[in-house]
């Protein structure tokens, strides 16, 4: 025979197991209906309730039934007679943002049994309501405990809704990024003046990538120069910021690899650490990313992996780099590196086609000669 203590312990373990399962489900990329169906089943089971419903706001802010579990035809008939009263109650919960427990004889309760309600949040906004019919009596202490449990479960459900909304927003942002990048590419191609293209790249690129500053560095013979800085019409080459930026770029460009600093430089090659430290001290940036710019040879052919993309499939030695900075945040956004590489490819292609007055440049040798490039950048191999 199971003792009262053992029975209580088993019941508590079952409740905790249901809570853990809901927490795990909240991390999965499930459709809302699938998640809330499992959510209700476990919540109802944990507190010994009879049935429940999840209501979610639609695009116009109106509550709509998402999922119902355990509701009988009799419940539906009873509810239909008190639809207006139930809508008023749900709206009250949505407005107040507070969980409530209503006895069966409460004037606000459209059902003749114990009723629990808890709001669902995304950020500071209430976006739904969980409604649970207990179906049997409960002591005041039991009611308080069950309401607290429901609030905890609603918290997991709110986390699920927040993640779902965040994923949807990320998807929209990604679509917007590629559309904006296409428009930026057209603007880069609208001019053949090197300075104009470079300024367009850094100023519009900063807005596209949502970072604090973007600069373009380029090797010129044995020197590395900063050609453009977002927010500046001209580059003051004597400024400490520009000099330290040039020194850092001079170490990064020959390697041809993307370098990212977010607070720790342990993994960086020794020759980069000192110039990076000097640049960070001068700029105050907490995150720095340097993305190489490569010259490309167009072969007029379409690659099998990227149908419709002509040329730009054979890279030469890197001749420059994009320098991205974040001042307030050291954390690298998950999508930033991929987006920066996409931008760098288009910037490199546009600058390759832009003439540099009085300079012809060989990407392979990294040397310049005194000549007037009247057409595009001279690429001698």
Q: What is the dihedral of CA 285, 289, 295, 297, to 10 degrees?
A: -150
Residues paired with residue 119 on neighbouring β-strands, in sequence order = 129
- Pairing state of beta strands 287-297 and 213-220? unpaired
Give me the residue spans of the domains in the chain: 4-166, 189-300+309-370
CA 86 from chain centre, in angstroms, equals 38
What pLDDT, in 10s, does the model give residues 265-298? 778 888 899 999 999 999 999 999 999 998 765 5
Residues paired with residue 292 on neighbouring β-strands, in sequence order = 321
Q: d(Cα 110, Cα 82) in Å, to the nearest integer?
A: 6
Q: d(Cα 189, Cα 280) in Å, to the nearest integer?
A: 33
What CATH number does domain 189-300+309-370 carry, 1.25.40.10, 3.40.50.2300, 1.10.1740.10, 3.30.450.40?
3.30.450.40
What pLDDT, in 10s, does the model give residues 221-265? 889 999 999 999 999 999 999 999 999 999 999 988 999 998 877
Residue 354: pLDDT band with limits 50, 70, 90: confident
Angle between helices 83-96 and 73-81 (to 10 degrees): 80
The confidence score (pLDDT) of residue 301 equals 41
Residue 364, pLDDT above cutoff 80: no
209 close to 343: Cβ distance less than 8 angstroms: yes
The confidence score (pLDDT) of residue 19 equals 86
The confidence score (pLDDT) of residue 161 equals 92
What pLDDT, in 10s, does the model give residues 13-71? 778 888 889 888 888 888 899 999 999 999 998 888 999 999 999 888 899 999 999 87
CATH number, span 4-166: 3.30.450.40
What sign for the dihedral angle of Cα 240, 245, 246, 247? positive
Strand segments, DSSP code E, in the chain are 51-57, 63-69, 100-102, 115-122, 125-133, 213-220, 223-229, 259-261, 287-297, 314-326, 359-362, 367-370
What pLDDT, in 10s, does the model give residues 295-306? 765 544 433 333
C-alpha distances in Å from residue 309, one per residue of 188, 300, 379: 17, 9, 22
Smallest Cα–Cα separation from 254: which of 294, 215, 214? 294
Backbone angles phi and psi of 128, in degrees to 5: -175, 175
Residue 361, pLDDT above cutoff 70: no
Residues paired with residue 294 on neighbouring β-strands, in sequence order = 318
**pTM for the whole thing?**
0.52
What pLDDT, in 10s, does the model give residues 175-212? 788 888 999 999 998 888 899 999 999 999 999 999 99
Same fold, 4-166 and 189-300+309-370: yes
139 close to 145: Cβ distance less than 8 angstroms: no
């Amino acid at each position: 025979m199971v003792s009262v203590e053992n029975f209580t312990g088993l019941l508590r373990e079952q409740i905790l197991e249901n809570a853990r399962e809901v927490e795990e489900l909240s991390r999965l990329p499930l459709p809302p209906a699938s998640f809330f169906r499992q959510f209700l089943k476990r919540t109802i089971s944990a507190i010994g309730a009879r049935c429940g419903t999840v209501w979610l706001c639609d695009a116009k802010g109106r509550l709509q039934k998402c999922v119902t579990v355990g509701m009988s035809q009799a419940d539906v008939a009873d509810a239909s007679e008190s639809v207006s009263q139930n809508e008023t109650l749900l709206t009250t919960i949505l407005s107040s943002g507070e969980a409530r427990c209503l006895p069966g004889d409460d004037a606000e309760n459209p059902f003749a049994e114990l009723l629990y309600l808890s709001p669902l949040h995304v950020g500071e906004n209430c976006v739904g309501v969980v409604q649970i019919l207990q179906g049997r009596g409960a002591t005041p202490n039991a009611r308080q405990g069950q309401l607290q449990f429901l609030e905890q479960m609603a918290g997991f459900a709110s986390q699920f809704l927040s993640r779902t909304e965040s994923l949807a927003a990320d998807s929209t942002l990604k679509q917007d990024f590629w559309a904006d990048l296409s428009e930026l590419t057209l603007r880069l191609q609208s001019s053949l003046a090197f300075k104009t293209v470079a300024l367009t790249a850094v100023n519009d690129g900063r807005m596209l990538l949502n970072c604090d500053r973007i600069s373009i560095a380029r090797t010129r013979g044995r020197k590395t120069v900063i050609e453009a800085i977002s927010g500046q019409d001209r580059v003051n080459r004597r400024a400490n910021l520009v000099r330290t930026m040039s020194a850092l770029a001079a170490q990064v460009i020959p390697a041809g690899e993307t370098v990212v600093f977010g607070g720790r430089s342990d993994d960086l090659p020794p020759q980069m650490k000192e110039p990076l430290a000097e640049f960070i001290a001068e700029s105050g940036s907490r995150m720095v990313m340097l993305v190489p710019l490569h010259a490309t040879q167009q072969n007029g052919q379409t690659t099998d992996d990227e149908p419709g993309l002509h040329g730009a499939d054979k890279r030469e030695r890197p001749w420059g780099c994009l320098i991205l900075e974040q001042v307030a945040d050291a954390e690298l956004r998950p999508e930033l590196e991929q987006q920066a590489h996409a931008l760098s490819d288009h910037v490199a292609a546009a600058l390759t086609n832009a003439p540099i007055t009085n300079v012809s440049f060989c990407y392979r040798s990294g040397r310049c000669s005194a000549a007037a490039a009247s057409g595009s950048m001279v690429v001698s191999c």
